């Protein structure tokens, strides 16, 4: 963890270094991924079977090696502990309500020139969702990806997930049942992304691919951008907590650790206006770390990437927050509204002392798939829009073409496109 | 041009081949582009100057070699022929009105559980717009990219454009003046895209890059996706005209040629329910081709990629249109509404006999930057949303945290994330 004080000489340079520090792995997997994609495109299911054997020690032979059935998901759901099932149901219901309210309106209007114009939003036909195997297989992530797709109206929602040594994750299956996932294939890695994008004999291709994954999965999505739609490039995630001294240090420490425990590349940053409070939080982080089952990961993250920044006034945090453009920003102050207005770049903002970020991970309703690695400067969280596309339309008649057609003819000639001009001129005669 | 009849045996296979025909160049420029990006990232302006000399025969030495000033754009605007200026003004005004109406609404509501949730849309700080040099430098494209950015609220809108042998395009400069472009840099190619994404001493980096370009530019954008936001991967464009026999063959032929004249890789397809009308259109295409100044390009496109498909009934065109997922779809029928409803995948639809596609290229209002190469299955035309991003927010208080917090605790424990649980539990006590 590093500690920066905004009034120190050299603060600007140190803060710049913090903003620009690369936390992503330097491993260049692009050539490996390109090879895997080309192989799956050429050889389909045979390539999938080989990679599954090699990377996941999972043999894809009979149908049940390939597919997790709806019945298996239902059984997993029914076997859930009651409290956990209620918690997942509450989460699903709240995510569904938030995203339903997000559905865009179509447009259809006729302007003063008599030109009818508009746009129709429609769901894509099929969406693929990558679900990691192992410890990053979170039922909450499945809900956060699958529910917006279904709310958008996607007819065919396909999950791919590696099942190392054949092992499945019952919580993920239960969540798939709740979200109405249509197919689950037991394949993972770049090869699963390739199968979704190109299609194989078994797996029909999809139009959009979302969901988290390791470096191979992320690179596969990046390389296939344009062949299919993808949600975004995900990088190491982060939390920025802006807290004055009137907070409990143990609460704020837990908030910082809730990010740090995700991954050693995660980043937790506190900005506060009080050096004594900074000390108290720092001490609480150390005290809580040792009690965590996730101690090793959280310690690695906090030591390598954690930071506490002391400013004169919490209002000074806004321009720093904009440079950090963090995935999560907590505003642990009595009146968070001025900071909410002042901070332009953030994935999601958690307002006030009683809104820990973890609430947003599970049950608040807004999506927890958010732009990471400073991408909140230009990217948004996952939404129903990621599973929809817009068709515009235009309708003219004799009168409206008479009004705006001649201008189109002028412009077409000026651009050296005579057939464009002619298609209008013939109708103007 | 090929002619397909839906009742012929072998139609399905022939149509599939048409849908899947690759019209894009097979040249793999990815390694070249990666080298150029790395070079500009490392050496900045010096690399830009070398590439401009090499690729554009343009020396970047003094400031005026680098920059096209606002005064130069204003002069170009004032020197415009009056009719052309009026046409550009009409286009700009109509594009502005359509896109202003597209601005998304923020959300802010408190639900039954007492949880305040919402989302705020904001413009990105800076956007870069690539404008090709040479014959593909269209003032209409500048308006279609720049106006949505300005309507979205982008403060800094930067154009990069190659100026081979130092030559500029006065129409493009005039359009830049009208659209309120803030900076114009005389650099092009992958190196210009790299400068926009990484920044150099002279050119400050931007958050989003849009605009058409050659294979190098498109690949540069693809490789930089995630470093910045980009609009989409653009491929060869196309028009699908669905027309019954009650159309004038010369009108429909001109519509097909208005796409063909863009590029040899363009594709023009007619679907009709009448073989005689198909013959008449085909003859008209041949007759009009020889009169076009763009004859060479249009002939190459029509011969290589053109198609006429004869179906029993125009309603049969809808499923074919969905497979083609064309950039532009004209519905030249008396009542286009049923087909508009039935066709799910199209970039933009032109309704009725009096709406030639060229109207949408210039003056209708909706954007002419549309998904190409079958990407209307998952992508949308350019809009203000491409220059904006959404920050979600959540606010709880004691009471609402008491209602939904326990579920978050259960889920965090189930996912093996104890610090997540603790950040909520501490506040529930």
Q: What is the pLDDT of residues B6-23, one digit of tens each?
A: 999 999 999 999 999 988
Sheet containing B107-110: give its strands across.
A2-5, A307-310, A267-272, A238-243, A328-332, A348-351, B388-395, B116-123, B107-110
Q: What is the chain A residue with the closest CA to B228?
A: A378
Contacts (Cβ under 8 Å, ≥6 apart) of B262: A417, B237, B297, B301
**B166-197 burial string, b = 16+ CB within 10 Å, else e?**
eebbebbbbbbbbbebbbbbbbbbbbbbbbbb
pLDDT at A235: 79
Please report, rounded to a whole number, the percentage of residues in chain A having pLDDT higher than 70: 99
Q: Is B377 in Cβ contact with A125 (below 8 Å)?
A: yes
Query: Is residue B232 over pLDDT 90?
Result: no
CA distances from B292 to A413, B328, B358 (A): 12, 22, 16
On whether the CB atoms of residues B361 and B368 are closer than 8 A, the answer is yes
What is the DSSP secondary-structure string of B194-252? Answer: HHHHH--SSS---SEEE----HHHHHHHHHHBTTBEE-------EEEEEE-TTS-HHHH
For the stretch B331-367, pLDDT in tens is 999 999 999 999 999 999 999 999 999 999 999 999 9
Distance from CA of B52 to the nearest CA of A (A): 25
pLDDT at B23: 81
Contacts (Cβ under 8 Å, ≥6 apart) of A306: A1, A2, A256, A260, A267, A268, A269, A285
Please report, rounded to a whole number, the percentage of residues in chain B having pLDDT higher than 90: 93
For the stretch B165-211, pLDDT in tens is 989 999 999 999 999 999 999 999 999 999 999 999 999 999 999 99
Higher pLDDT, A70 or B133: A70
Closest among A404, A407, A416 to B83, alpha carbons compared = A407
For the stretch A278-302, pLDDT in tens is 999 999 999 999 999 999 999 999 9
CA distance A227 to A197: 7
**A368-389 burial string, b = 16+ CB within 10 Å, else e?**
bbbbbbbbbbbbbbbbbbbbbb
Query: Is residue A25 over pLDDT 90?
Result: no
On whether the CB atoms of residues B118 and B392 are closer than 8 A, the answer is yes
CA distance A256 to A242: 11
pLDDT at A136: 65
Q: Which of A99, A177, A328, A368 is catalytic?
A: A328
Q: Which tokens in the block code for residue A408?
A: 């189109």
Query: Is residue B134 over pLDDT 90?
Result: no
pLDDT at B136: 65
Q: Is A423 in Cβ contact with B255 (below 8 Å)?
A: yes
Q: Is A367 in Cβ contact with B392 (below 8 Å)?
A: yes
Would you state the torsion angle of the CA atoms of residues B37, B215, A191, A231, taken in this order, to the nearest 10 degrees?
A: 80
Q: What share of chain B is helix, strand, coil (3-state, %, to 5)?
A: 50, 15, 35
Would you state the torsion angle of the CA atoms of residues A146, A149, A151, A152, taken in this order, to the nearest 10 degrees?
A: 170
Q: Which of B224, B358, B368 to mutate to test the interface with A (most CBs of A within 10 A)?
A: B358
On whether the CB atoms of residues B176 and B145 are closer than 8 A, the answer is no
Query: Is residue B25 over pLDDT 80?
Result: no
Rounded to 10°, the helix A82-100/B398-414 angle is 120
pLDDT at B154: 98
CA distances from B163 to A231, B70, B141, B214 (A): 35, 16, 17, 15
Report the residue from A94, A294, A405 with minimal CB separation from B419.
A294
Q: Which tokens in the block code for residue A59?
A: 């043999």
* Average pLDDT of span A195-208: 98
Contacts (Cβ under 8 Å, ≥6 apart) of A221: A130, A193, A209, A213, A230, A231, A233
Q: What is the chain A residue with the closest CA to B292?
A: A418
Q: Grade residue A28 by pLDDT with cuts at 50, 70 and 90.
A: confident
Q: Is A366 in Cβ contact with B119 (below 8 Å)?
A: yes
On whether the CB atoms of residues B232 and A226 are closer than 8 A, the answer is yes
Q: Is A383 in Cβ contact with B418 (below 8 Å)?
A: no
Q: Is B359 in Cβ contact with A418 (below 8 Å)?
A: no
Q: Which tokens in the block code for residue B149?
A: 């950015």
For the stretch A71-128, pLDDT in tens is 999 999 999 999 999 999 999 999 999 999 999 999 999 999 999 999 999 999 999 9
Q: Give backbone dihedrals phi and psi of A332, rounded to 5 degrees, phi first.
A: -90, 70
Q: Give backbone dihedrals phi and psi of B8, rounded to 5 degrees, phi first.
A: -70, 145
The chain-wide mean pLDDT, for chain A, equals 96
pLDDT at A22: 81
Report the residue from A207, A288, A349 with minimal CB separation from B378.
A207
Alpha-helical segments (H) within B67-212: 70-78, 82-100, 139-152, 170-179, 189-198
State CA A281 to chain mean position distance.
Answer: 29
Query: Mean pLDDT lowest for which of A15-24, A255-264, A338-347?
Result: A15-24
**Looking at domain A30-113+123-230, which of 3.40.50.1980, 3.20.20.140, 3.90.1200.10, 3.40.50.300 is its CATH number?**
3.40.50.1980
For the stretch B144-176, pLDDT in tens is 999 999 999 999 999 999 999 989 999 999 999
pLDDT at A26: 63
Report the residue from B83, B336, B392 with minimal CB separation from A410.
B83
Whether A75 is catalytic is: no
The chain-wide mean pLDDT, for chain B, equals 96
pLDDT at A23: 81
Exposed (0-12), middle (13-18) or buried (19+): which is B322, by Cβ within 10 Å? middle
CA distances from B114 to B109, B404, B427 (A): 9, 10, 16
pLDDT at B133: 86
Query: Is residue B271 over pLDDT 70?
Result: yes
User: If DSSP states are collapsed to H, E and C, what string results for A351-375?
Assistant: ECCCCCHHHHHHCCCCCCCCCCCCH
Report the residue from B251, B254, B426 with minimal CB separation from A250.
B426
Query: Is residue B94 over pLDDT 70?
Result: yes
Q: Which of A116, A140, A394 to mutate to test the interface with B (most CBs of B within 10 A)?
A: A394
Query: Is residue B26 over pLDDT 70?
Result: no
Chain position carrying tokens 């039922």:
A139
**Looking at domain A2-24+235-364, which of 3.30.70.270, 2.40.30.110, 3.40.50.1980, 3.90.25.10 is its CATH number?**
3.40.50.1980
- Helices and strands counted in chain B (H then E): 18, 14
pLDDT at B364: 97
Alpha-helical segments (H) within B307-417: 317-324, 337-342, 357-362, 398-414
B345 marked among binding-site residues? no
DSSP character at residue B174:
H
For the stretch A297-333, pLDDT in tens is 999 999 999 999 999 999 999 999 999 999 999 999 9
Q: Which tokens in the block code for residue A199?
A: 């299609």
On whether the CB atoms of residues B131 and B157 are closer than 8 A, the answer is no
Parallel/antiparallel/unpaired status of strands B116-123 and B388-395: antiparallel
pLDDT at A170: 93
pLDDT at B233: 79
**Looking at domain B30-107+122-230, which of 3.30.300.30, 3.40.50.970, 3.40.710.10, 3.40.50.1980 is its CATH number?**
3.40.50.1980
For the stretch B368-418, pLDDT in tens is 999 999 999 999 999 999 999 999 999 999 999 999 999 999 999 999 999
Q: Which CATH architecture has domain B235-377?
A: 3-Layer(aba) Sandwich (3.40)
What is the DSSP secondary-structure string of B388-400? Answer: EEEEEEEE--HHH
Exposed (0-12), middle (13-18) or buried (19+): which is B42, by Cβ within 10 Å? exposed
Q: Where are the domains of chain A?
A: 2-24+235-364, 30-113+123-230, 396-428
Please report, rounded to a whole number, the percentage of residues in chain B having pLDDT higher than 70: 99
Asked whether this chain's domains A2-24+235-364 and A30-113+123-230 adopt the same fold, the reply is: yes
Parallel/antiparallel/unpaired status of strands A183-185 and A156-160: parallel
pLDDT at A1: 95
């Amino acid at each position: 963890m590093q500690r920066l004080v905004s009034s120190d000489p050299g603060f600007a340079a140190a803060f710049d270094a913090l903003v620009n520090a690369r936390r992503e792995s330097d491993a260049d997997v692009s050539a490996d991924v390109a090879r895997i994609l080309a192989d799956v495109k050429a050889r389909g299911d045979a390539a999938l079977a080989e990679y599954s054997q090699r990377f996941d020690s999972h043999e894809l032979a009979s149908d049940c090696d390939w597919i997790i059935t709806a019945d298996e998901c239902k059984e997993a759901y029914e076997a859930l502990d009651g409290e956990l099932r209620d918690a997942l149901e509450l989460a699903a219901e709240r995510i569904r309500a938030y995203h339903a309210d997000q559905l865009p309106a179509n447009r259809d209007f006729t302007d003063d020139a008599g030109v009818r114009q508009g746009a129709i939003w429609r769901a894509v036909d099929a969406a693929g969702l990558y679900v990691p195997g192992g410890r990053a297989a979170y039922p909450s992530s499945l809900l956060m990806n699958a529910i917006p797709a279904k709310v958008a109206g996607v007819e065919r929602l396909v999950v791919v997930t590696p099942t190392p040594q054949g092992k499945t994750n019952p919580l993920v299956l239960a969540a798939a049942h709740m979200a109405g996932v249509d197919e689950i294939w037991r394949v993972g890695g770049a090869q699963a992304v390739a199968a979704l994008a190109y299609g194989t004999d078994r797996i029909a291709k999809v139009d959009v691919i979302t969901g988290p994954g390791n470096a191979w999965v992320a690179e596969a999505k990046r390389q296939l951008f344009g062949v299919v739609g993808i949600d975004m490039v995900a990088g190491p995630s982060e939390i920025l907590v802006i807290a004055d001294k009137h907070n409990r240090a143990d609460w704020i420490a837990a908030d910082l650790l809730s990010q740090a425990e995700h991954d050693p590349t995660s980043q937790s940053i506190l900005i506060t206006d009080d050096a004594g409070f900074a000390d108290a939080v720092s001490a609480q982080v150390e005290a809580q770390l040792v009690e965590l089952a996730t101690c090793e990961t959280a310690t690695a993250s906090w030591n390598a990437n954690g930071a506490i920044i002391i400013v004169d006034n919490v209002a000074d945090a806004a321009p720093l927050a904009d440079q950090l453009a963090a995935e999560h920003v907590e505003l642990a102050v009595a009146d968070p509204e001025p900071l909410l207005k002042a901070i332009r770049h953030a994935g999601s903002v958690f307002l006030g002392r009683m809104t820990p970020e973890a609430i947003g991970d599970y049950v608040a309703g807004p999506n927890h798939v958010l732009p990471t690695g400073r991408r909140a400067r230009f990217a948004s969280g996952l939404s129903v829009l990621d599973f929809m596309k817009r068709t515009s339309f235009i309708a003219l008649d004799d009168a409206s073409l008479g009004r705006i057609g001649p201008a189109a003819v002028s412009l077409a000639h000026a651009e050296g496109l005579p057939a464009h001009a002619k298609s209008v001129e013939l109708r103007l005669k």
